[in-house]
Amino acid sequence: MKAFRRRSVATRSHRSIGFEHGWTYREAIRRRLVEIFDEIQQSIADCLRAAVKARQLRPATNYDELASFLYSSLQGAILQAKAERSAIPLERFKKFLFSTVLR
């Protein structure tokens, strides 16, 4: 019984160290993903500005907010399409985007 207790304490300590290491690694990944999302949203905002400059789109009040909204909406549509195994959420996103948001 004592051997079992010693092993379980050692295992718990090992798990704790692994958890802390895993948390640091996950945090680094999370931060990098935020950077990537910011880069994508900035690219979308730049495209919106260029479209307004080319008079292909009416002026928006806040390009960064609109870019964030568009990107988040697209990601939601992708997730829903995968869950439903259907292209309908993506088609709905595209239809609403061009008929309402970017007209």
Domain boundaries, the chain: 2-101
Instruction: Read off φ and ψ for residue 55, nearest 5 degrees.
Output: 60, 30
DSSP H helical ranges for 54-87:
63-84
| pLDDT score for 7 | 54
CATH of domain 2-101: 1.10.357.10
Residue range 17-26: average pLDDT? 70
| pLDDT score for 35 | 97
Listed in sequence order, the residues at least 6 apart from 80 whose beta carbon sits closer than 8 Å to its beta carbon are 89
pTM attached to this predicted model: 0.70
Q: How many CB atoms lie within 10 A of CB 50?
A: 11
pLDDT in tens, 45-78: 999 999 999 988 888 678 999 999 999 999 999 9
Q: Would you say residue 4 has pLDDT above 70? A: no
The more confidently predicted of residues 82 and 1 is: 82
| pLDDT score for 20 | 62
